[in-house]
Amino acid sequence: MHPAKSVILFTTASGAGYGLIVVAALFDAMGLLPRSPLVTALTLGPALALIVVGLLASTFHLGHPERAWRALSQWRSSWLSREGVLAVWTFLPIGGWGLLRLTQAETGSALESALAALAALSALATLYCTAMIYASLKAVPMWATGWTPAGYLLLGPASGAVLFHAVAHGLGFADERIGSTVSTLLLAALIAKLGYWRRAAKAAPVSTAASATGLGGPDVEAVNLLEAPHTESNYLMREMGFRIARKHAGRLRRIALVWTFVFPMLAVWLAGYAEGWGQTALVALSLVTAAVGLAAERYLFFAEAKHVQSLYYGEAAV
């Protein structure tokens, strides 16, 4: 599948934003989120900004972005519509939670805790709907697996935790438990990503050229493409038949694994023992490496996936 830049930006930015909401609510429940207005603004503010940027980016690849609102009406049958509805809804508990933190006294209330929990659950539900947009597509066998929502539900909070860790260090409320949570989420996300790739490597083809054309049989050794349906590239070939060289895929997988998971975990761990500028540099390194790695991981998520339609353009099996 063609890895559109807008979709890569959407899934990385909104995933980090929703993930930041989830971990902020978690750390708030653990008593690790100070009630300072500055802390609230620099925690929930970036989360909302990332969510908005991601949602806006999701409309860039549409032929008619002005009609995007119509997708909200199909929530009974469409995961895309459910995602849109939940994305809009999630602004309400996040806004209420932030407003109470900014206006209430030094101690929180039951309503504030309830709104924080609702914001986290709504963020997770939105991430799940985003994942199911792809996991529900049986025509793309690589996506049609439980590892797809598992990856989204873990990568979002993991990337959000890396960002929260940076905010905590910048505002002086860093805690060992925050670092441990970041490492745990990154490790869980790494396991989910490895499981996704392992399943893709071992899964038997869902369709072949023979099954797609109905030409297979006991007396047929193989069905191969004799001539392409088109003499030049078209929309279907560009969007559904995108191909990435094996050497590039291998290199990008290594970048995704090392930069998304290994480097941030090491940087977060070492930052717990460093001081001064060394600590600041390590925290910044965790942010930069995670961002680069996530971009590579998202690119691969789309570039490696094959639509069954590619069988009619030269693929032997999908």
pLDDT at 104: 81
Q: What are the sequence ranges of the domains in the chain?
A: 5-313
Tokens read off for 55: 């949602």
**Ordered mean pLDDT values, 10 residues apiece, the chain (318 residues):** 84 96 96 93 96 88 67 82 93 96 81 96 97 93 95 97 97 94 97 95 81 70 72 67 70 92 96 92 96 93 85 73
pLDDT of residue 219: 63
The predicted pLDDT at position 245 comes to 58
CA torsion 54-59-60-64 (nearest 10°) is -170
Q: How far apart are CA 56 and CA 44, in angstroms?
A: 18
285-156-175 Cα angle (round to 5): 55
Under a CB-based contact definition with an 8 Å cutoff, are residues 56 and 7 in contact?
no
Q: Give me the pLDDT at residue 218, please.
A: 67
Q: Which two tokens stand for residue 31?
A: 């008593």
pLDDT at position 306: 85
Helix (H) or strand (E) holding 100: helix 79-103
* pLDDT of the residue at 223: 75
Other CB atoms within 10 Å distance of the CB of residue 47: 27
Distance CA 135, CA 75 (A): 17
CATH number of 5-313: 1.20.1630.10
